[in-house]
Copies of this chain bind each other. A is one copy, B any other.
Amino acid sequence: MIKVTNGGVIAPKGFKAGSVHCGLKRNIKSHDIAIIFSEQPCKVAALFTTNRIAAAPIKYSKKVVQNGVVHAIVVNSGNSNSCTGKKGYKDAETMAQLTSRHLNIKPDEVIVASTGVIGHHLPMAKIKSGISKSFARLGNQNAHSINISKAIMTTDTVPKTIAVKTKIGGKEVTIGAIAKGSGMISPKMATMFCFITTDASISLNTLRSCIKKSTDGSFNQITVDGHMSTSDMVAILANGMAHNRNITSSNKIDLALFQKALDYVTLNMAKAIVKDGEGATKFIQIEINEAKSTSDAKKVSRTIAESPLVKTAINGEDPNWGRIVSAAGYAGIPLDESKLKLSVNKIMIYKNGLPVTPFPKKLLSEMKKNEITIQLCLGKGNKSATLWTCDLSKEYVKINADYHT
C-alpha cells in the first residue's frame, strides 16, 4: 500500500534541506543553491549522463558514489560548471569541501550537482557564501521542502517533488524526491536531476540494482528534444533510520515492496518532467507492443518520439498516422508493414498495412485532449516498452531561439 505524503526529500526520517539565493539566477527571490543533509551516513546509488562531454560535478560525484557512502548533496542552478576545464573540476571539489566543513563530514561524502548555462566558471565567492547560508538554514519544515524543489529549477515552470510511505516488514518506510528538467531531455543512462531520499534500511548492492531498474523504466524512457545534457544525475540516499529489516535480494517480499514504491516515485517524477517540457502543450505516451525484444520496442518508441514531424502533428491536433508509421519504419529494426496495428487514444487507425476505413471521426475530438496515447503493435513477439514525450510547439522554438548564451 503506497500512500502519497508531503515533504519531498525531507519526508523520510533524518533528512534536512536548506537553500538560498546566492546570485547565480537573476531574480533575487529565486533560490539557486541548496544542501540536502542526512543525520546518519547513507548508502548511495546513482546514475549519470552518458554524454562524453560531462560536466565537472558529474566527474567528481561519480568518484564519490563509487565509495557507496554519502552524507549530503550540494546543488546549484543557474550555472552547470560544464566545459570549464581543470578549474571547473577544482571548483566542484571546493563545493564539496566547503559543504563538508560546515557539516563536519568528509568531502568525499558529498555529492555535487550543478545545472544551468554551459561554459562559465562558477563565481566561487557567491557559491561559498551560498553554501554557508544554506547550511545555516537547514531544516525539515514544509517551507524547506518547497524552497529546495524550486532551488534546482532552470527553465522548469513548476517545481517537481513527491514523497510516499509504504510498510516494509511492519515498519513504515518513506521515500521522497525532487526533480528538475524541462529541455535537453533524452537520457541514455539517466537524465536531468532527481535526488531521492529514503529512511529505508537496504543493502548497497540492492539499492544499486533497485535504482537502475527504476530508472530504466522511467527517466530512461522519456524524451523532450532528444538532446542529452552534460549534467544529468539520478541519485538515491538511504539512511536506514526507518529501522526496517534490512532489504536485500534474498527477501523477495521486502524487495518488491521497496521497488514498487521507488518505481512510483521515479515514474511520477519522469512524467512531471515531460509534462513540463519546454513549450509542451500535450503529454504523449507511446506504447510499443508485440515486439521481438524490449530493445526493439524501445528503439521504435524513441524514433517515433523524436520525430519533429510526429511531434508537430500532435501539436496541430492532427491524427497523422503516416508520420508515426513511417518513423517506426526507420527505427532500424525489421518491420512487417502488413502486421502493424496502430491506435491513438484506443481508436484503431491503421491495420495490416492500410488505414482503417471509414476514418474514425471520433479521433478528431480525441486529438484535442491534453494526453495522447499512441499504441503500436509490431506483430513480431511479446515484448513491450512505454515512453513518454511531449509535442513540439512554436513556443519550444521561441524558448530556445530566444535563449541567449
Contact = CB atoms under 8 A, between A and B. Distances in A.
Interface of A: 50-54, 82-85, 117-119, 183-184, 186, 188, 225-230, 306-310, 312-313, 315-316, 318-323, 325-331, 333-335, 337-338, 350, 352-355, 392-394, 396-398, 400-405
A286 to B, nearest CB: 15
Given A308-B308, A313-B400, A405-B318, A354 B53 contact: no
A215 to B, nearest CB: 17
Contacts of A188: 330
B227 A322 contact: no
A157 to B, nearest CB: 18
Contacts of A338: 85
Contacts of A398: 394
Contacts of A119: 321-322, 350, 354-355
A21 to B, nearest CB: 24
29 contacts: A50-B330, A51-B326, A52-B333, A52-B334, A53-B328, A53-B329, A54-B329, A82-B326, A83-B350, A85-B354, A118-B323, A118-B326, A119-B321, A119-B350, A183-B309, A225-B307, A226-B306, A226-B307, A227-B327, A228-B326, A230-B326, A230-B329, A309-B400, A316-B402, A319-B405, A320-B404, A321-B405, A393-B401, A394-B398
Contacts of A323: 118, 227
Closest 4 CB pairs of A and B: A118-B322, A316-B401, A53-B329, A312-B400
Given A320-B404, A321-B405, 10 more contacts: A52-B329, A52-B337, A53-B337, A83-B325, A83-B353, A119-B321, A119-B354, A186-B330, A227-B308, A313-B400
Contact of A184 (B117, B228, B309): B309
Protomer copies: 2
Given A226-B306, A309-B225, A337-B83, A51 B353 contact: no
B53 A335 contact: yes
Nearest to A188: B330
A82 B322 contact: yes
Contacts of A403: 313, 316, 318, 320
Contact of A83 (B230, B307, B309, B322): B322
A312 B392 contact: no
Contacts of A316: 400-404
A279 to B, nearest CB: 9
A315 to B, nearest CB: 4
A218 B14 CA distance: 61
A396 B330 contact: no
Contacts of A401: 312-313, 315-316, 318, 393-394
A320 B405 contact: yes
A307 B117 CA distance: 17
Contact of A322 (B50, B354, B396, B405): B405
Given A227-B327, A230-B329, A355-B119, A308 B53 contact: no
B118 A400 contact: no
A346 B68 CA distance: 47
A403 B184 CA distance: 27
Given A397-B394, A401-B313, A229 B53 contact: no
A94 B325 CA distance: 26
